[in-house]
Amino acid sequence: MTTVMVVDDHPMWRDGVSRDLTGAGFEVVATAGTVAEAAARAAATQPQVVLMDMHLPDGNGAAATAAVLEVSGEAKILVLSASSEREDVLEAVKAGASGYLVKSASAAELLDAVRATADGQAVFTPGLAGLVLGEYRRMSTVPDAKGGADLPSLTERETEVLRFVAKGLSAKQIGTRLGVSHRTVENHVQSSLRKLHLSNRVELARYAMEHGLD
């Protein structure tokens, strides 16, 4: 059972999301309404996934993300916010968030996003993944990163899969795009992780973003 902490300063919203998660088979181990509460309760419960609001009374979601990861390094942070502002999205990702979902998402989309985040996928509301990719490309200082020239150890198919991983697609979605099974996609992902000395899909997605793959 995946353990989840819900961080939001609105009690009714927090309780409603917690009920949806519990009903779907997740274990909500903690809730919090401030940055300070989020850090303290993450340290105590070590949740696998943290649903994080971007606007809290004593700071923002980026500060809370950094605080939670400092005390619970294995947690995966999925921002769930009413804001889709560029600055909020980029600040959250730079602080260590694995994904970003706007609150207009349906309950089913939220539950799917939590499952995907727990599995190590980078999940973004459509349109936001492109924003993050563009920013990482702009910030990239790797001199030979253009066009993936610094990835000689990856096969053409592995690089192709990597581009889809960076966009937040699941193995099943990538398989559909490429006409292969999701197991074949996962084999390519695992091979890429080994070659690049990375540990999970989130790190792989960030690697792709930092190296200008789209």
67-77 tens-digit pLDDT: 998 999 889 99
Residues in CB range of 45: below 8 A, 6 or more apart: 3, 5, 29, 30
What is the CATH T-level fold of the domain 3-125, as seen in this structure?
Answer: Rossmann fold (3.40.50)
Going by C-alpha positions, the residue among 11, 14, 31, 26 that lies closest to residue 111 is 26
Predicted TM-score of the model (pTM): 0.65
Residue ranges, the chain, pLDDT below 70: 127-153, 210, 212-214
CATH class of 134-210: mainly alpha
The whole-number pLDDT of residue 111 equals 94
CA distance 211 to 175: 23
Residue 214, classed as helix, strand or coil, is coil
In the chain the beta strands, taken as DSSP E runs, fall at: 3-7, 27-32, 49-52, 55-56, 59-60, 76-81, 99-102
Equal CATH topology for 3-125 and 134-210: no
The whole-number pLDDT of residue 15 equals 94
Residues in CB range of 194: below 8 A, 6 or more apart: none
Domain boundaries, the chain: 3-125, 134-210
The whole-number pLDDT of residue 113 equals 92
